[in-house]
Structure 1
Amino acid sequence: MKYYEVDFHIHIKTLNEPEGCGPDCGMLLQDVRDIIAANAGETGFETFEDTDDGIKGYVRTDMFDAGALAQSMEDLPFGNISVTYDVREAEDKDWNEQWEKEGFEPIIVNGMCIIHDGRHLPEKTDYETSVEIDARFAFGTGTHETTRMMVQALTETELAGKSVLDCGCGTGILGIVALKRGAAMATGYDIDEWSVDNARHNAIINMVDDRYEALLGDASVLDGITRKYDVVTANINRNILLADMPKFRNMMAEKARLLLSGFYIEDIDVLKEKAEEHGLQFERYENDNNWACMALRLA
């Protein structure tokens, strides 16, 4: 699968310090990175990594929309900041190989679920749920706010004997957490073939592969599934959540629960309205660093 690598350069100026952005530079730079990632994510970008002067993003060549990207950068809500970017074809290899080599430190969610890789084993082993993730990308390991909130939501959901659908499965982490917390079966799908292979691999190393299925494709793959699910999860960007809401609803069993993340607090109202149009009741939301996670239930 071919990708474009887009290098976003952030230029910050202030009136009193024309050569720099003062003591709050680091904080402001990270805020701008987050907004660039959110805006670019709505145009099809899948993953990001920080650089010294900005952020680098990756998007499939067949999903790249130059006009939409340019508009998303014009919509940045900062008067003293400008963003330029360069687009090039990414090397045809695992372009986040360094992440694979370094891995991540164990992450504890809600005091009961620990997520770790094979290189950084937890010191304690008495958590209710222990999940090992051999990740190709940082997103989908628990290092990102949205993934942590989704895992927390699963720890607060009754899963024993339930069926789970994970939309945009990435590493497979949500389906695997659900299975290790008692779910009977889980199905995940993703448009990225690397993610699908990675999810299958992670299901194997967590010994839940006999109950886990990963499918390649977008929400249209759901058209070939006749069963209904008790819990549906989707950690994707706002625009895809809005577009695919009818398909999520169609896959839900009676009194099923829908868990959503991948969007900002400011997006809650529009997503809530869309969900209610399809007979879903809003339960609650959580937030972490302005990212949000929403729980809904089929009325």
Structure 2
Amino acid sequence: MADLVYIEYNFTVAPLQPASDILIAQLGEVGFDSFVENEEGVQAYILKDLWTEEKVKNVQILSNENFDISFNFKEIEQQNWNAEWEKNFEKIVVDDVCTVRAPFHEKPNTKFDIVIEPKMSFGTGHHETTHMMLQHILEHDFTGKSVLDMGSGTGVLAILAAMKNAGSVDAIDIDNWCYLNALENKERNNCSQINVFEGDVSLLKDQKYNIIIANINRNILLADIPAYAKCLTKDGILFLSGFYKEDIPVITEKCNEVGLKFEKNLEKNNWVAVKYVF
């Protein structure tokens, strides 16, 4: 995969929300497959073979007068991305019991030791949303549970659920890069009970889970919450993240419509991770 070449777009967005969420959704529709949100906006990636400048010009939000969005782009080779990642990646420790690290880091003394090589996939534990979702998993009993990690990225959340003795874990991501990366990380952490799938919410037909984890963005969550609810067993738990504190009311309203009730939330730098239950 070292010969894959991506085009990187750097978008400066004001105000950040809801423009960043809308931008990511619309870029996804025209072929972009990886995104990184930052304090100024969004970095977005598309395979050079799938890219034309016209695709971006046709993204509707860029002509919306309510938002100020500017961008530049450049070509980036996958091998250069990996070199930058390895140079800058630092291990993290969550609540003194879970370490997320790269293969080149020294083995820690924490109870849970997750080794990942994220490449271009989201979910290293450094972002607030992933960090808080790891905290939620650490706080709950996963023994024997059937679990869904929706929008699984690197697979880090699925891996921790498996390490906490989940009976089975399905990890789903629409991005081919994330799918392949999660497969690698599953094997790297010897988590045989994880099943990795490439796709979206349409894969959930007739599935049942005790616990669903979804760290995506607000708009996708709002569209998919009814599907999650149909898949949850009685007394099931839904953990959601990928949105800001001010989005909790609209997310909770959608959950209430399908019988899910707010129980608690974690907050970090205005990002939240919320627990809902039947």
Fold similarity call, TM over 0.5: yes
Alignment partner of 1:167 is 2:150: yes
Pick one of 204, 214, 222 that aligns with 1:242. 222
SS in structure 1 of the partner of residue 166 of structure 2: coil
- Per-residue deviation at 1:102? 2.7
| Amino acid corresponding to residue 6 of structure 1 in structure 2 | Y
C-alpha contact (below 8 Å) 1:175/1:212 kept by paired residues:
yes
C-alpha contact (below 8 Å) 1:141/1:147 kept by paired residues:
yes
Partner of residue 158, structure 1: 141
Partner of residue 260, structure 1: 240
Cα distance in 1 between the residues matched to 2:150 and 2:89: 24
The equivalences for 1:12-31 within 5 A come to none
- Per-residue deviation at 1:86? 3.4
Pick one of 121, 143, 151 that aligns with 2:106. 121
Deviations 1:129-153 (A, max 9, x none): 1111111136301010000000001
Cα distance in 2 between the residues matched to 1:250 and 1:141: 29
Greater gyration radius = 1
Partner of residue 231, structure 1: 211
SS in structure 1 of the partner of residue 262 of structure 2: strand
Deviations 1:246-294 (A, max 9, x none): 1111111111100000001111100000001001011011111111111
Relative to structure 1, the CA distance from residue 253 to residue 99 in structure 2 (aligned partners, 3 Å threshold; closer, same or farther) is farther
- Per-residue deviation at 1:84? 1.8
Relative to structure 1, the CA distance from residue 59 to residue 95 in structure 2 (aligned partners, 3 Å threshold; closer, same or farther) is farther
The equivalences for 1:1-299 within 5 A come to 5-9=8-12, 37-38=20-21, 40-43=23-26, 44=28, 46-48=34-36, 56-58=43-45, 66-70=58-62, 74-76=65-67, 83-86=69-72, 93=78, 96-102=81-87, 104-122=89-107, 124-125=108-109, 127-137=110-120, 139-208=122-191, 210-223=192-205, 226-298=206-278
Cα distance in 2 between the residues matched to 1:35 and 1:94: 33
228-237 or 61-70: bigger deviation: 61-70
| Amino acid corresponding to residue 71 of structure 2 in structure 1 | Y
SS in structure 2 of the partner of residue 96 of structure 1: helix
Cα distance in 1 between the residues matched to 2:79 and 2:204: 28
- Per-residue deviation at 1:36? 6.5
C-alpha contact (below 8 Å) 1:99/1:137 kept by paired residues:
no
Deviations 1:78-101 (A, max 9, x none): xxxx5422367x557567333443
Partner of residue 22, structure 1: none
Give the percent of matched residue pairs that are identical in Structure 1 and Structure 2: 33
RMSD: 3.1
| Structure 1: tracts of 5 or more residues without a match | 11-30, 77-81
Cα distance in 2 between the residues matched to 1:6 and 1:240: 22
Aligned residues: 265
C-alpha contact (below 8 Å) 1:115/1:131 kept by paired residues:
yes
| Amino acid corresponding to residue 70 of structure 2 in structure 1 | T
C-alpha contact (below 8 Å) 2:21/2:219 kept by paired residues:
no
| Amino acid corresponding to residue 230 of structure 1 in structure 2 | N
| Structure 2: tracts of 5 or more residues without a match | none
C-alpha contact (below 8 Å) 1:103/1:135 kept by paired residues:
no
